[in-house]
Every structure is written in structure tokens, then in C-alpha cells.
Structure 1
């Protein structure tokens, strides 16, 4: 039986005014123990020296290693496309068998790619893999918690992924962080174009969970910077932060959740997804319509909310202890 070719990895790195961290991140990518075959940098109309800095890092690397075997593609978006469309263009330009997503301000441990690729080589059924990360500050000093702790990725939720039930989990909420993610490029045949109201990483994870297998590694393979300028961060809310969320108006958020559910159902129907997934997505739409239509007066919400909870909607399509309380307490506008 002929030996299979090694899986080639493309890195999709998106930037926007990436100074002062992007140089460190690019170096951590180039110096992996298993280097990528391709680096795609998609820049979203930076007004600082992001591209010039990256080019200098790459030039220095090539001077040290005359034949590094890493191709570099640089895309420049003018005007800016926004985070999701920037990543959409980046992954579309990737040619490797596997695609690793990268933010501009993190740091990769030296064997991140090696360890993740090994999982894909060992498990042909694996479609998307994400990992834990170490939360660090702007100076790369460790913070108190890790990513999985910050997003409260519970043992019960982890077990769902381990059992191949990621779709069931992701219908409740997203637990996949793009900066830690790698997936097979053929996932893009199903996932592109990205849909409105979904962030790129959660959309990729959702589609992968319907048409393939999603799993995680508990290892922290990325230093995930939290520096105040993150477009998407991972700060863990304290009691005061959670209370503040309960005081935010509910209408806009609930309408966005409904739009997301409808977009998912439409895409799964168009893509001829398994009937079980389409039916679950339809029921998710029903649940979000129910939530959006709740009365403005809090007292009048009690009966329909409790009725939906008894029918299991909150436990199937969300986090009951958060969403049920939100629907009872949050102001309407």
C-alpha cells in the first residue's frame, strides 16, 4: 500500500493595524517545528506599518533559511472588509490540505502545528480541531485563567464533543475560538460564503459539526493575548459583568439570534444536510422566534418562558441558567 503524502498546512493570518504584536506572531508561525507550506496574510486596510513589518520578518527568515519551503501570499483589502469577510478571503486563498487560523497578536507554541496535524493524520474522519489557550496580557505574561476556563467550557460540554455530538453542543452556544482552530480545506466547499450574523470561527465549527467531526485538544497551544484592543476577546465575566448583561436590552440580541438561526436552517436546507440536522435547525428557529416574541412586560413573560423550559427548549438550544433568566429579567428596549 503506497504511503500517503504528508498533509500540507496553510496559515490564514488576518491583520488590521497589527503593530506592535504582529512581528512576534509571524515569527512564531515561521519557526514551527512542522512549518506551514503556505502563509496567507490578509490585511484589512491597515494604516500602520503592519505589512512592511511582516515583509521584514519574512525577508529575515528567508535570509537565514534560503529554501524554507514556505510560500507567502499577501492580500490587501481597500477598503476594509471587517473581521469575518477578511477571514473569508484569507481562507479562500489557502491551498493546503489543512488550514490553521491565526490572529495578529497571539503567539504559538513551537509545536502547535505538529501536534494538531498529527491528530488529522491519525483521524481521517476529523474535520475541525480546536484547542485550549493560555490567556496572556499585552506583554505575554500569563493571566489567571486559560481560555476554556474563561468561556466556561464545561466537562459536560467537552464530553459531547468527545462523543461526536458537537452539533448538539453548538446549537446551544459556540465553544470554538478561531485563534486555536485548524480544519480540512474541503470544509470550505460547504462553509463558503460565510453567512451574515455569524463570526467566521463559529460558522466553520457549526458547518463542520453537521458534515463532519469536530473535536478539541485540552492542551494550550496558543498564547491568546488580552490587551484591551482585541476585536474578539475571551475575558471571563465576574458577577458584576454578568449582572450588567442582565440589564442590557434584549430586543437587538434576540433578533440577531433569530437571524442566525434562520440563516443556518436556510444553508443546511440548500446544502442537502442530513434531515436530522435540518429538523434541529428548524426547531432552533422556532425557539428563537418564541423568545423574540415574548411580551415587553416582564410579568407577562413568566408563563411562556416556563412553558418553553418545561418543553426542554432552553436546555436543548441554549444555556438554561443564563438564557431563561435573561428572558425573564432583561428589559425589552
Structure 2
């Protein structure tokens, strides 16, 4: 039995004109069965009363539960930093062993932190943990869909993460949603600064998977609100939507993915010997694959043989969605 004191949690909460839902979110944080020690609020030049709502709600909860005060630190940006750098600012100011990320419009189940902190207590090598979420509408009504369902998470991906192969999963695609994530503060030594080309949660997830253990909890521990003002939401593509994507213009998608992989390689080389040569080799191969896809000719007919040869290498499966990626490369416009 682990009798060590519970690890303490900082919450990195980022806001931008989010007053509409903030009271409900902050109450769900402060009234956890295992509450955090502090909330670091980084407000990105809000024009509404987001900061005032958070202050009032934290004070309200302190009156309701005087034995469990949650400290509040407020950082206010006069000029917007945007999502990635605003989260970087909030995360950098957190002081406790574990950091939980929070959007401004979700709701945590009451024992979310208790469940997640227990996993970190049990496994000292666990560096980052994320979970499923229940999707709800603006009014908090159940949409009868989970986050993992919307992302089309497969059983093999779940088992890969459980089995210590999160890096291979994330090199194909990101499954880490920041609003569901808790990680050890020690990760920041390798993850900061965040490249603006990456979303903060996918960057934290993939860097963590190269230097430590990443895992997931399959139960939904937050209500993930989907509404018209979501900066990043979750939505499962319909069949028609998938067809449209397959025929749409690729634009700079593969160029951007190659750049992201190059930035990852650069960071991993900076980390040094704690990253295995096998991981480095996989990232180099990912870069080659994305460069190949970016350089495909405009003529669909001229793409056929190169795409067939690339598919035979297995890299569509290793670094993308397999057959789905092949179909897109065959049919998408340039």
C-alpha cells in the first residue's frame, strides 16, 4: 500500500472571453474530492469579465470548503498570445509536482484528480496521463458520444499506449487532448519552449512519450463542451465528410507536417542520450514520408506508381492512417 502523501496539483487555466461557462468549470475544479493546491489563470486579453468570474468563484468555493483553500494566481495579457503560448505561460508559472490543463468551458467529474493522481502515485515512471471525455453541448446536455469515439480511437491504439508504445501511436496521429491531461512538472525541462507550429497538448504528449511513460484512462473524467466558440473541439467525420477530405486540396498540409517532424527531431537531439536511437530513426523516417507526400505531382495518374512504392515500405501505416492516407494521396487535388 502506498502511504506517501498525495502529489500536489497545479491547474493551468487559460481564458479568452470565456465568462459564459467559467463559473461552472472553476467550481468543478475547486470542489474536487482531491482539490488542487493552486490555479494559475492566464487570461489572453479578454474583453469580458473572465478574470473577475474566476476570482469570485474561487472565493465562493473557499467559503463553502474553508478547509481546502485553492490559491489563485492571475496573469493578464494585454496583447493576445494565442492558445499555444498562453498555455505555455500558464504552465510555466505552475509550481506543483503535477500540472492539470484546463480549458475555460468544460466540467470535471468530482473525483477526476483523485483518479489521476492515484495513477501517478502508483507509477513513478508515469510522465503524462490523459483520459476520455463525455461530449456535451453548450447547455451541458449529453451528445451520446465520447471524445475517443469522435477521434475514432482504435483498440490497437489504446492497447499500444497501455503497452508502453505511445510514441509509435502519436507519431501516426495525436490522441492527447489537453483538457483531459495531467503531467509531471519535470516534463517541462524537455518540452519548453513549445514550438508554435505544434498544439501544446500534442507536443507535451509526444515529447513525454520519448523520455517517460504515457498512459490513458478509458473512462470519461470531464464533460467536454462543444459549442460555437470552441477554439479546438471534437467532431467525428461523417462518411460524406471523409469523401470530401479525400478529394479536397492538400494545400500545405504535408509541408507543415514535415516541418513539425523536423522540429521534433531537433528537440529530441537536444535532449540527447535519454532518447533512444530507435526513436530518432523513426522521426527521420517520418520526415522522409511527409516530404514524399508533399512532393507528389499534380497529376493523379502520375502519382500512382510512387504512392504504390511508398505504400510497400509500410510508412503509410507507421506514420499515418494507412489505407486512408493512400486514398487521399491518390485522389486529393493540389
Q: TM-score range by the shorter chain?
A: over 0.9
**The residue matched to 2:39 in structure 1 has which SS?**
strand
Structure 1, unaligned runs of 5 or more: none
The residue aligned with 2:193 is 193
The residue aligned with 2:37 is 37
The residue aligned with 1:89 is 89
Tell whether the 8 Å contact from 1:40 to 1:74 is kept in structure 2 after alignment.
Answer: yes
Structure 2, unaligned runs of 5 or more: none
RMSD, aligned α-carbons: 1.3
Task: Render the CA deviation track for 1:280-329: whole Å, top value 9, x for unaligned.
Answer: 11111111111111111111111111101001110111111221111111
So what's the TM-score if we normalise by structure 1? Answer: 0.97
Count of residues in correspondence between the two structures: 331
For residues 51-200 of structure 1, the aligned pairs below 5 Å read: 51-200=51-200
Q: CA deviation at 1:100?
A: 0.6
Cα distance in 2 for partners of 1:212, 1:288 equals 26
The residue aligned with 1:266 is 266
Tell whether the 8 Å contact from 2:268 to 2:280 is kept in structure 1 after alignment.
Answer: yes
The residue aligned with 1:232 is 232
The residue aligned with 1:202 is 202
Tell whether the 8 Å contact from 1:196 to 1:260 is kept in structure 2 after alignment.
Answer: no
The residue aligned with 1:299 is 301
So what's the TM-score if we normalise by structure 2? Answer: 0.97
Cα distance in 2 for partners of 1:302, 1:79 equals 48
Please identify, of 162-171 and 266-275, the stretch whose mean Cα deviation from structure 2 is larger: 266-275
Cα distance in 1 for partners of 2:3, 2:215 equals 26
The residue aligned with 1:326 is 328
Tell whether the 8 Å contact from 1:251 to 1:292 is kept in structure 2 after alignment.
Answer: no
Q: CA deviation at 1:3?
A: 5.8
Task: Render the CA deviation track for 1:252-282: whole Å, top value 9, x for unaligned.
Answer: 1111111111111111111112211111111
**The residue matched to 2:143 in structure 1 has which SS?**
strand
Tell whether the 8 Å contact from 1:133 to 1:223 is kept in structure 2 after alignment.
Answer: yes
**The residue matched to 1:176 in structure 2 has which SS?**
coil
The residue aligned with 1:279 is 281
Cα distance in 2 for partners of 1:190, 1:251 equals 32
Cα distance in 2 for partners of 1:65, 1:3 equals 25
